[in-house]
Amino acid sequence: MQDPKLFALTPGEPAGIGPDLCLLLSREAQPHPLVAIANRQMLADRAKLLDLDIQLLEVGPGRWPQQPAPAGALFVWDTPLGAAVAAGRLDPANAAYVLETLTRAGTGCLNGDFAGMITAPVHKGVINEGGVAFSGHTEFLAELTHTEQVVMMLATRDLRVALVTTHLPLRDVADAITAERLERVTRILHADLRDKFGLASPRILVCGLNPHAGEGGHLGHEEIDVIEPTLERLREEGMDLIGPLPADTLFTPKHLEHCDAVLAMYHDQGLPVLKYKGFGAAVNVTLGLPIIRTSVDHGTALDLAGSGRIDGGSLLVALETAYQMAEARNAG
């Protein structure tokens, strides 16, 4: 078992802004040792393009750092590319490289080398073009860790929103809101708020599915038939669950002031509010995994790769969140 405060950072798509973010981040010292799992030469080339003087310190299994890197330096676990990288230009030949960085990080978390992993954005399309069926970080890590159910939660510094359903067409959402699914997601959210965020008795606000939370059955029966009975069963176990509440009034200061997380029924019910409140300073957290994984809330931004015109706010929040989650888990 290595230092429990060692963290893995995956730069994601090598032609995108992930490598830039890692290099810009390393201009200042981090509170914990942070290892970029990436191709060292690719990072050196990108640093030159960005006119950054960053010392790339090679580390790896059996030679992990015991202290944070100084300002102007970045620990790198060198990982071979499939092809040379040009900023802004996708190449399917590097699909296997991207997946190898994720595998190294996830496996390192499982075996205790890393306390958590922080991921920069990948490009799903080019990975699939490279011959690998890939639907995203979340699904990949769930398979790697043999996890049956995960929950997507986005958070900014004063709001957390978890989702019962994620990337579904709107016409399919109501059928997907089953008692079994709602109970499973709520249990995962409640458990991880306790285990990974250190909240002894988390208070969760739950959105209704329909306008006005169904208006007593006049605008839909999902609240009466599924959501309310499920929440009541879980309340009997001691969970502090408020709702179902109409989403248009739940997301107001009066309600949010005294909650630890919001559980939204579908993607565009909860995330527009969160992104309006904290876009560029939000983090994507995968709940339900046996490891800590946080991610930025944006894409690869190929047009900005190598330009230096990027905002690293989301990566900083992702790092802060991973550090806090590890502290809470160690304290629990």
Q: How far apart are CA 61 and CA 8, in angstroms?
A: 12
Gap between the Cα atoms of 151 and 139, Å rounded: 10
204-216 pLDDT, tens digit per residue, is 999 999 999 999 9
Burial class (CB within 10 angstroms; exposed 0-12, middle 13-18, buried 19+) of 324 = middle
What does the pLDDT read at residue 1?
38
Please tell me the distance from the alpha carbon of residue 78 to that of residue 57, in angstroms, as a whole number.
10
> 161 pairs with which residues across the strands?
154, 262
pLDDT in tens, 238-278: 999 999 999 999 999 999 998 999 999 999 999 999 988 88
Alpha-carbon distance of 272 to 268, in angstroms, equals 6
Alpha carbons 284 and 151: distance in angstroms, whole number: 10
Annotated binding residues for substrate, written as ranges, equal: 137-138, 275, 284, 293
Residues of each annotated binding site: 137-138, 167, 212, 267, 275, 284, 293
pLDDT over threshold 90, residue 7: yes
**Helix segments in 247-312, DSSP class H:** 247-250, 253-256, 267-278
* pLDDT over 90, % of the chain: 88
Q: What average pLDDT does the segment 31-59 reach?
A: 97
Which option is the CATH number for 151-275: 3.40.50.280, 3.40.718.10, 3.30.460.10, 3.30.450.40? 3.40.718.10
Q: Where in the chain is the domain with CATH 3.40.718.10?
A: 7-147+290-329, 151-275
Is residue 225 predicted with pLDDT exceeding 90?
yes
- The answer on pLDDT for 279 being more than 80 is no
Q: What is the pLDDT of residues 154-186, one digit of tens each?
A: 998 789 999 999 888 999 999 999 999 999 999
- 140 band by pLDDT with thresholds 50, 70 and 90: very high
pLDDT digits (tens, 9 = 90+) for 236-247: 999 999 999 999
Per-residue confidence (pLDDT) for residue 318, from 0 to 100? 94
Residue 4 in this model has a pLDDT that exceeds 60: no
Annotated binding site for a divalent metal cation: 167, 212, 267
**What is the CATH number that goes with domain 7-147+290-329?**
3.40.718.10
